């Protein structure tokens, strides 16, 4: 399909219907935001049942503000940990950079570390409660669409193979990194990009460390660990602790693992060699991983930024538009910001004008985040220290200057919009 360049109209819209393909974090935030603004919508989710998938993610202050505006922050706060501090250390635990987070960092919103599945459950439950009956439809996988001056006709396949068509005024693809809608809009897209890093992710009840509200990222040249608590544990003195191990397993010239190999159970013999490279004084990394009953592996992937998202009355959102490396905790945050922006514009402008303005606002910003994350994002300081001082250091300033640290970490906060919300 070729991109259409019809001139947008700026007339005040009627109460149109928005079709949302994908009931993940971005799609549900969009649905709740549209409902709050009086714009009817329907969410079509491919999965036939909802499960608490994934492990920990962070709701950063700028995205927490969106969820607060939807009346959800209190419920999320009850099942999350307010992160106080982010630390970057080398493989020996030597401190490279420390930053205060959320309210401690001068923001007017907390930073919430939370189980992704529990965040999704809260969003789905709120949408079920607030939206009219029939607005959330599971087991609907997008197949194709057509559009004309009267709207969009989307075709979905049900779990039993039946096909159904739904008409709306706008179609939004919030269907993730493997987006069907993205493939329809961009059949020549270069596909999934992989530079050879594998992620192993798990969560386990673990004794409280460093006050119970610190996110730690430790790395050498081959391994990187991210660890932080995401909920209270089931026994006294413990917290449900999320960990992510990133290890270089290929040179980046090979294609990414097949899709069926994403999110498969991880193997101790594959992750432990990376864990043993990190010697953190207050955290036994190997013991943490061994104590996790089940963990999963994923290739660390993204896609190249697109030249455009929008074709007439159809557009993309979240990972369908801009999948990025999980660096700087911005994947879900940027999807939530997309949703807020798009909902606001759809409540004010006619479809083509709203989608055009949304793309103009969000595409350049998220494309730069994708590119920056590919270079390491704020965690690039870890790569630089590992390269310059592979055996550790006596004086950090001899390895990396405070100005260089501020430029990399502070520059990323400005790029992602986080620095704008203090």
Kindly report, residue by residue over 101-125, the tens digit of the pLDDT.
999 999 999 999 999 999 999 999 9
Model pLDDT, residue 397? 96
% of the chain at pLDDT higher than 90: 85
Model pLDDT, residue 175? 97
Q: Phi/psi at 98 (nearest 5 deg)?
A: -130, 130
Determine the Cα–Cα distance for residues 109 and 58; give it in Å rounded to an integer. 13
Q: What is the CATH number of domain 193-302+377-420?
A: 3.30.9.30
> Could you tell me which residues come within 8 angstroms of residue 169 by beta carbon, excluding any fewer than 6 positions away?
16, 17, 18, 151, 152, 313, 351
Q: How crowded is residue 288: how many other Cβ atoms within 10 Å of its Cβ?
A: 21
Model pLDDT, residue 11? 40
pLDDT at 6 over 50: no
CB burial class (10 A; 0-12, 13-18, 19+) of residue 367?
middle
pLDDT in tens, 269-279: 999 999 999 99
Query: Residue 10 — very low, low, confident or very high, per pLDDT cuts 50/70/90?
Result: very low
Provide mean pLDDT across the span 206-212: 95
pLDDT at 177 over 70: yes
Model pLDDT, residue 328? 87
pLDDT in tens, 151-171: 999 999 998 999 999 999 999
Q: Which two tokens stand for residue 149?
A: 């001056």
Query: Residue 2 — very low, low, confident or very high, per pLDDT cuts 50/70/90?
Result: very low
Model pLDDT, residue 421? 60
Provide mean pLDDT across the span 392-407: 96
Whether residue 215 contacts residue 86, with contact meaning beta carbons closer than 8 Å, is answered with yes
Residues in a beta bridge with 244 = 201, 226
% of the chain at pLDDT higher than 70: 95
Query: Of the segments 14-18, 246-250, 336-340, which one has the largest average pLDDT value?
Result: 336-340
Q: How crowded is residue 397: how many other Cβ atoms within 10 Å of its Cβ?
A: 10
Model pLDDT, residue 7? 37
Whether residue 34 contacts residue 343, with contact meaning beta carbons closer than 8 Å, is answered with yes
Provide mean pLDDT across the span 280-289: 96
pLDDT at 5 over 70: no
pLDDT at 3 over 50: no
| pTM for this model (two decimals) | 0.93
Residue appearing with tokens 């995205």:
63
Query: Residue 419 — very low, low, confident or very high, per pLDDT cuts 50/70/90?
Result: confident
Model pLDDT, residue 12? 41
pLDDT in tens, 219-270: 999 999 999 999 999 999 999 999 999 999 888 777 777 775 667 899 999 9
- Mean pLDDT (the chain, rounded): 92
Whether residue 145 contacts residue 154, with contact meaning beta carbons closer than 8 Å, is answered with yes
Model pLDDT, residue 9? 41
Model pLDDT, residue 422? 61
Helical packing angle, 331-348 and 351-374, nearest 10°: 160
Provide mean pLDDT across the span 357-372: 97
Provide mean pLDDT across the span 127-148: 97
pLDDT at 403 over 60: yes
Calculate the CA 354 to chain-centre distance. 24
Model pLDDT, residue 251? 81
């Amino acid at each position: 399909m070729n991109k259409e360049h019809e001139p947008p109209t700026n007339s005040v819209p009627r109460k149109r219907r928005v079709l949302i393909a994908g009931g993940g974090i971005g799609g549900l935030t969009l649905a709740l935001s549209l409902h709050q603004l009086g714009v009817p919508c329907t969410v079509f989710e491919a999965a036939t049942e909802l499960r608490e998938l994934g492990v920990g993610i962070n709701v950063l202050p700028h995205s927490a503000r969106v969820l607060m505006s939807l009346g959800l922050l209190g419920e999320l706060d009850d099942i999350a940990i307010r992160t106080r501090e982010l630390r970057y250390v080398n493989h020996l635990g030597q401190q490279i950079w420390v930053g205060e987070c959320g309210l401690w960092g001068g923001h007017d919103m907390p930073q919430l570390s939370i189980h992704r599945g529990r965040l999704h459950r809260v969003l789905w439950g709120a949408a079920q409660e607030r939206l009219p009956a029939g607005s959330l439809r599971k087991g609907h996988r997008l197949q194709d669409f057509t559009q004309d001056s009267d709207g969009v006709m989307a075709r979905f396949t049900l779990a039993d193979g039946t096909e159904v068509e739904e008409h709306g005024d706008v179609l939004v693809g919030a269907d993730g990194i493997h987006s069907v809608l993205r493939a329809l809009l961009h059949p020549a897209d270069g596909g999934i990009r992989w530079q050879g890093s594998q992620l192993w992710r798990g969560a386990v009840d673990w004794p409280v460390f460093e006050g119970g509200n610190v996110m730690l990222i430790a790395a050498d040249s081959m391994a990187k660990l991210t660890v932080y608590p995401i909920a209270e544990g089931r026994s006294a003195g413990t917290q449900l602790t999320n960990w992510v191990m990133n290890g270089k397993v290929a040179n980046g010239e090979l294609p990414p693992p097949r899709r069926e190999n994403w999110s498969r159970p991880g193997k101790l013999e594959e992750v432990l060699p990376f864990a043993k490279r990190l010697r953190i004084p207050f955290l036994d990394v190997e013991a943490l991983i061994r104590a996790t009953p089940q963990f999963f592996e994923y290739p660390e992937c993204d896609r190249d930024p697109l030249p455009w998202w929008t074709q007439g009355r159809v557009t993309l959102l979240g990972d369908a538009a801009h999948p990025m490396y999980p660096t700087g905790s911005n994947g879900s945050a940027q999807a939530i910001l997309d949703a807020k922006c798009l909902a606001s514009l759809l409540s004010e402008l006619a479809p083509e004008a709203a989608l055009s303005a949304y793309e103009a606002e969000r595409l350049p910003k998220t494309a730069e985040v994708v590119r920056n994350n590919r270079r390491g994002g704020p965690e690039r300081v870890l790569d630089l220290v590992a390269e310059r001082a592979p055996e550790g250091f006596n004086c950090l300033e001899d390895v990396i200057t405070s100005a260089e640290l501020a430029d990399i970490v502070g520059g990323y906060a400005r790029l992602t919009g986080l620095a704008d919300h203090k």
